[in-house]
Amino acid sequence: MATDVKTGTATRRNKHPHDDAPDTRDAFLRIAALDECAEKARLTDEVTRQWLPLAHRLAAKYRGRGESLEDLRQVAALGLVKAVTRYDTERGIAFASYAVPTIDGELKRHFRDYMWTVHVPRRVQELRGRVRQARQELAAAGSANPSTSEIAAAAGLTETEVRQGNEALNSFSALSLDAELTVGEDGRSLGDTLGSPDPGMDRVVDRETVRPRLCRLPEREKRILYLRFFRGMSQSDIAGEFGISQMHVSRLISRSCERIRREVSRERVLQPVG
pLDDT tens by residue, 226-241: 899 888 999 999 999 9
Asked if 142 and 150 count as a contact pair (C-beta separation under 8 A), the reply is: no
Assess whether pLDDT exceeds 90 at residue 271: no
pLDDT of residue 14: 41
pLDDT digits (tens, 9 = 90+) for 209-262: 878 888 888 999 989 988 998 889 999 999 999 999 999 999 999 999 998 888
With b for 16 or more beta-carbon neighbours within 10 A and e for fewer, the 175-211 pattern comes to eeeeeeeeeeeeeeeeeeeeeeeeeeeeeeeeeeebe
CA dist 74 → 18, 63, 67, 240, 271 (Å): 20, 13, 11, 84, 58
**Cβ partners under 8 Å of residue 115, min gap 6:** 65, 66, 67, 172
Residue 41 placed within a domain: yes
206 and 252 both lie in a single domain: yes
Mean pLDDT of 162-188: 65
Range of the domain at 164: 116-175
pLDDT at residue 16 is higher than 50: no
In the structure, what pLDDT confidence band is assigned to residue 127 with cuts at 50, 70 and 90?
confident
pLDDT tens-place string over residues 169-180: 666 555 556 666
Same domain for 102 and 51, yes or no, is: yes
Residue 91 in domain: yes
Question: Helices (DSSP H) in 115-245: which residue ranges?
Answer: 122-140, 148-155, 159-169, 199-215, 219-225, 235-242
Residue 3: what are its φ and ψ, rounded to 5°? -100, 130
* CATH (domain of 149): 1.10.10
- The reply to whether 105 and 82 lie within a common domain is yes
| CB 25 within 8 Å of CB 7 | yes
- Residues 131 and 84 both lie in one domain: no
Q: Which residue has the higher pLDDT, 188 or 81?
A: 81
Residue 40 lies in a domain: yes
- Under the banding of pLDDT at 50, 70 and 90, the label for residue 6 is very low
What was the pLDDT predicted at 175? Answer: 56
pLDDT band at 1 (very low <50, low <70, confident <90, very high): very low
Instruction: Look at residue 5 and tell me if it is in a domain.
Output: no
Do the domain assignments include residue 191?
A: no
Arithmetic mean of pLDDT, 80-96: 89
Q: Give me the number of domains the chain comprises.
A: 3
Point out which residues pair with 10 in neighbouring strands.
3
pLDDT of 116 higher than 60: no
CA angle, residues 62, 8, 34, in degrees to nearest 5: 110
12, pLDDT greater than 90: no
The answer to whether the Cα torsion of 255, 260, 265, 266 is positive or negative is positive
State yes or no: pLDDT of 273 exceeds 50.
Answer: no
Q: How far apart are CA 35 and CA 166, in angstroms?
A: 51
Region 48-65: mean pLDDT is 89
Selected residue with higher pLDDT from 239 and 128: 239
Q: Please give the Cα distance from 39 to 46 (Å, whole number).
A: 11
d(CA 139, CA 34): 52
pLDDT of residue 215: 86
